[in-house]
Amino acid sequence: MTIMECAGCTLIAYGVPFSMFVFTIAHHPFRIIISMTSAFFWLISLLVSSLLWFAVVPLRNQLAFAVPFAVIFQEIFRYLFYRVIKKAEFALQKVQMQELTDKGMVFDRFAVAYAAGYGFGFISGTFAIVNVLSDMIGPGTIGIFGHSQDFFIATAFLTLCIILLNTFWGVIFFTSLDKGGIHRLIGPGIVVLTHMLFSCITLLNRKSQPLYSVSLAVGYSLLIGMIIYTLMLRGFTINNIRQRMNRD
Amino acid sequence: MTELLHSQADNILINDYERSDVAVLPDVAIIQTSTTGENVSSNAATASSHARVEPVDPQDHETTRRHRRDGNPEEQRPLNNDHEEIFKYGASHVVKLFVPVSLCMLIVILTIKTTSSYTPGGATWAYTPFTEDKPTNTQKILFSLANTFIFMGFVITATVILILLYKFKCYKIIHGWLILTTLMLLFFFLYSYFSSISASLNRPIDMITICFLTWNIGVVGMFCVHWKGPLRIQQAYLIMMSALLALVFYKFLPDWTGWLILGVISIWDLIAVLCPKGPLRILVETAQERNEPIFPALIYSSTMVYMITAVDPPAEPEFTPVSVNSTTAGKKSHHLDLSLFEKKQFILVNVGEPLTDEQRNERATIRNNNARRQLIPRADVPQTEGRREPARYVVERSNSPVPDDDDDEKGVKLGLGDFIFYSILLAKASALGDWNVTIACYLSLLIGLCLTLLLLAIFRKALPALPISITFGLVLYFSTVYIIGPFTAELSTGQVFI
């Protein structure tokens, strides 16, 4: 039974991201490397946040102190990764593009933004859920001593939410910075604000009788909002979509 | 063209004593003779004969292209080519190395998690004689340091012996050593692996089945690794051997000793490859002077290679120095493929040359690879010996007449020692049971590998594969265990998502 639960939660949390990987990233080595590097940057940002949490000893139990800083550090490292990508692209532009195109290596900004967001999200979700999954597969379950019985399934859905949110945040962040102008402030601003909102709402999960429905509802509505904003940034409008649908 | 002929003549003269074993044959014949066992010992001769044959073939447009390009000095290459080549064999080759490294680590971790016989503790072995059951931490550190120095002593001795053997041209000894190592690895370790698996899973297996399995797998392994075989099977055997060896290491290395050894061996790798008096560098330079390919030893390569690689591993089971075969058309100024692999692995980037996968854990194996196509000149293919010595990278220069549209031929080589030490690091990281630590170390190892390949593409000379990855791995291991771990545990308990 525990194996079933573990398998179910794994598939909930990783089903969509794994399909995304298989269909969009797996056959493009460049995107794999971008995702891994972006995951590494997230890991470093987590290290910095943990150092801060570790250093401020008296506030270790007050996660409300550490979480906003963690969010801020993550976004700072996302921006740093953007700068690194820009430098690499600049170096690549010196290369003769023709041969690259022949080899199928095109510097696709959207793909890079997507892969970067995906990397961030995947490692973020993994660090949140993988220990829970390995505990889940052992004997016993949760909820016996008055704790909420929805711990596992809420974790799985929240993990899925954060992986997808991070993907879209990555796209919004990079695309807005590329666009320039007012978007340079709006895009990253929206990302930081929604990230902070989501993380602080999940702080509510710490209560002894947690209301997972609040975090889940907020998380998924934020996700829908991010999807709509991404589509707007990429130039899709209602008319566009309608035309496409009528064409097919 | 004349310079090419001149260099061919040089090859002939240098390797004259070895040529007596192999007659000068046309391409087809050479391929046939290379399939015989004799060629194992006369790999150098065949190498030279191959080198001789290359320019003669008029139908080989690639060699003719090569001839044309041989005239171009290096400086004529525009700067763009550097960037192109960085990017050409960039992403897909990095990923081609990610997959086998990940597979090896996966095998090791699965074995450790499912069986209990590969956990540390219990018997000690001769290379790390002191145990760590000491009362105080200071004593533990002292004895671990002693263990580390003894271990490194063995490594350095093996490397030096290999280099001496190579310098005094005792190729047969090296070949024999290599074959013996692979034999022991494939039969004895495999047998003990099967026994441990059956014991841990509580499933008795009769002696006949185990002997049958071991014999078949071992013999096919010997063929594939030392001689010819399908590429995937070669790669699979090399990965399997690395995993077996990493498991043995993991079982016998005490805890603190293991960490110290990982650190010290990265430093040794760095010194041996990059310092002017470093043993591996001497090996590479000697091979360059003689215009011989270094023994291709345990090296994992992602494509087929045409050349006959001789592997020369030292008899030391754990450490097989890797000699690098630098095959050039003659002049050093032409592409030099050096893969120097000491005990470990080195990464070779072959531009346009199919590479054979040769891997062996510790000893260099001599390989005679039948060229699939006779088009690619031998000189373009680096031969490397892989041993458990620190890995080196070898970069092929862009002068090689690699057809630009032939991405499949470009392969990357990584020494087996790198596989082994990466897997050991990850096995130790997973011993705690915390998957965050394992994933953090895995990611850092791969990113280190990525960075090393990038540096390889930029600097275009032999580079060690271990230092960057192991440094990242160690730093992230200790920081994840002591700093990130408690933080994420606190977050997970309350289901707070940052």
Place of tokens 């054979």: B356
| Better pLDDT: A205 or A95 | A205
Q: From chain A, pick out residues whose CB is under 8 angstroms from the CB of B91.
A: 29-30, 32-33, 105
User: For residue A99, what pLDDT is reported?
Assistant: 53
Quote the minimal CA–CA distance from A238 to chain B in Å: 33
Q: Give per-residue pLDDT as tens, B165-197.
A: 888 888 888 888 888 988 988 899 999 999 988
For an interface test with B, the pick among A27, A32, A43 (most B C-beta atoms closer than 10 Å) comes out as A43
In terms of average pLDDT, the best of A221-235, B2-16, B82-96 is A221-235
Q: Rounded mean pLDDT of B437-456?
A: 94
| CB contact A30 to B (< 8 Å) | yes
User: For residue B295, what pLDDT is reported?
Assistant: 59
Closest alpha carbon to B495 in A91, A119, A67? A67
From B281-290, B305-314, B454-463, the region with the lowest mean pLDDT: B305-314
Place of tokens 């191959």: B50
Structural domain contains residue A147: yes
Return the bridge partners of B324, or none: B384
Which residues of chain A from 152 to 191 reach within 8 Å of chain B, CB to CB? 154-155, 158-159, 162
* Gyration radius of chain A over CA positions: 20
| CB contact A97 to B (< 8 Å) | no
- Interchain pair A96, B487: CB under 8 A: no
Place of tokens 């707007």: A232
User: For residue B383, what pLDDT is reported?
Assistant: 36
Range of the domain at A171: 2-237
- Asked whether the ipTM of the predicted complex exceeds the cut of 0.90, the reply is yes
β B299-301/B338-339 pair status: unpaired
Tokens found for residue A226: 């991010």
- Interchain pair B495, A210: CB under 8 A: yes
Structural domain contains residue A248: no
Q: State how far the alpha carbon of A137 is from the alpha carbons of A4, B94, B200, in Å.
A: 8, 34, 20
Q: Which residue in the set B83, B435, B479 is minimally distant from A47, CB to CB?
A: B479
From A170-184, B80-94, B455-469, the region with the lowest mean pLDDT: B80-94
Closest alpha carbon to B238 in B431, B394, B367, B49? B367
B133 labelled catalytic: no
Q: Rounded mean pLDDT of B362-376?
A: 32
Q: At B300, phi and psi to the nearest 5?
A: -95, 125
Q: From chain B, pick out residues whose CB is under 8 angstroms from the CB of A166.
A: none
pLDDT band, residue B377 (cuts 50/70/90): very low
End-to-end Cα spacing for chain B: 65
Residue B379 per-residue DSSP state: G
- Interchain pair A203, B95: CB under 8 A: no
Quote the minimal CA–CA distance from B482 to chain A in Å: 9
User: For residue B391, what pLDDT is reported?
Assistant: 42
Q: Confirm if B330 and B3 have CB atoms less than 8 A apart.
A: yes
Q: What angle do CA B313, B105, B182 make, to 5 degrees?
A: 25
Q: Which residue in the set A47, A128, A154 is minimally distant from B492, CB to CB?
A: A128
Residue A224 per-residue DSSP state: H
Nearest CA in chain B to A45: B484
pLDDT band, residue B393 (cuts 50/70/90): very low
B418 labelled catalytic: yes
Q: Which residue in the set A30, A37, A158 is minimally distant from B495, CB to CB?
A: A158
**pTM, 2 dp:** 0.75
Tokens found for residue A157: 């859905």
For an interface test with A, the pick among B88, B98, B480, B498 (most A C-beta atoms closer than 10 Å) comes out as B498
Residue B300 per-residue DSSP state: E
Helix (H) or strand (E) holding B301: strand B299-301
User: For residue A201, what pLDDT is reported?
Assistant: 92
Give percent of chain B above pLDDT 70. Answer: 58
Q: From chain B, pick out residues whose CB is under 8 angstroms from the CB of A103.
A: 88, 407
Given a cut of 50, whether residue B263 has pLDDT beyond it is: yes
3-state helix, strand, coil in chain A (%, to 5): 80, 0, 20
Nearest CA in chain A to B405: A103
Q: From chain B, pick out residues whose CB is under 8 angstroms from the CB of A36.
A: 443, 446-447, 450
B269, B312, B357, B380: the catalytic one is B269
Measured distance CA(B425)–CA(A56) in Å, rounded: 31
Structural domain contains residue A245: no
Structural domain contains residue A22: yes
pLDDT band, residue B433 (cuts 50/70/90): confident
Structural domain contains residue A244: no
Q: Give per-residue pLDDT as tens, A122-157.
A: 999 999 999 999 988 888 888 777 778 888 999 999
Given a cut of 80, whether residue B349 has pLDDT beyond it is: no
Measured distance CA(A229)–CA(A220) in Å, rounded: 14
Place of tokens 């001496």: B164
From A64-68, A170-174, B355-359, the region with the lowest mean pLDDT: B355-359
Which residues of chain B approach chain A closer than 8 Å at the C-beta?
Answer: 79-80, 83-84, 87-88, 90-92, 94-95, 98, 404-405, 407, 433-436, 439-440, 443-444, 446-447, 450, 476, 479, 483-484, 486-492, 494-498
